Amino acid sequence: MRRLLAALLIAGSQSVLAVEAGSPPPEIAGPRLDAPGQSIALSSLKGKVVYVDFWASWCAPCRISFPVLDALYRENRPRGFVVIGVNKDVSALDAKKFLAKVPVTFPLVGDANDAIAKAYDVKTMPSGYLIDRKGVVHKVHRGFTPETGPAIREEIEALLKEPS
């Protein structure tokens, strides 16, 4: 009985750590992968709608999601929308090779030691976290299919209409 209770407590405590809709997102801060010498911090983007996207060069669905996310970023940036790409590659060279084939204009940060991914409890690639203007996670997307892009577009549109 004690073992069962201990197992349930451990399992329950792990789900508490997961970032889900309605929770505040962990901070992302660090040097930009795409712009050496510059840094980015999620906390500096409060008042904007933010999509945090975890990606890697070995992630096949990321090759599909990147052009969609970049188009959404370019289209909605003037209205207060930002995408932050968090790269999970151990090697920055692998990330750069991927970006040479699938370029984007949104800010990128490296996470070679997985500290950011662990804080978000990322289990699926890609994983995306849509954050509203108040700094609360509105929606979590795990994986990416052809249906994901239109769904994200609708969610972004609704959040951009909300006051900050």
- Distance between CA atoms of residues 130 and 53, nearest Å: 9
What are 14-48's pLDDT values in tens digits?
444 678 988 999 999 988 998 989 999 999 999 99
Cβ-contact 78, 141 below 8 angstroms: no
**Sequence-ordered list of residues with C-beta below 8 angstroms from that of 55, at least 6 positions apart, any chain:** 62, 65, 66, 85, 86, 87, 88, 125, 126
Instruction: Name the residue among 22, 86, 97, 30 with its Cα closest to residue 58.
Output: 97
How high is the pLDDT of residue 17? 61
- For the domain with range 19-161, which CATH number is right: 3.30.565.10, 1.20.120.1200, 3.40.30.10, 3.40.50.1820? 3.40.30.10
The separation between the first and the last C-alpha atoms of the chain, rounded to the nearest angstrom, is 49
Task: Answer for the pair 133, 163: CB distance below 8 angstroms, yes or no.
Answer: yes
Give me the pLDDT at residue 68, please.
98
Query: What is the model's pLDDT at position 98?
Result: 97
Query: Has this prediction a pTM greater than 0.85?
Result: yes
Cβ neighbours of 67 (radius 10 Å): 13
Cα-based torsion angle of the residue sequence 65, 28, 131, 16 in order, rounded to the nearest 10 degrees = 100
pLDDT truncated to tens, each residue of the chain (164 aa)? 444 333 333 343 344 467 898 899 999 998 899 898 999 999 999 999 999 999 999 999 999 999 999 999 999 999 999 999 999 999 989 999 999 999 999 999 999 899 999 999 999 999 999 999 999 999 999 999 999 999 999 999 999 999 87
Q: How many CB atoms lie within 10 A of CB 71?
A: 14
* Domains of the chain, residue spans: 19-161
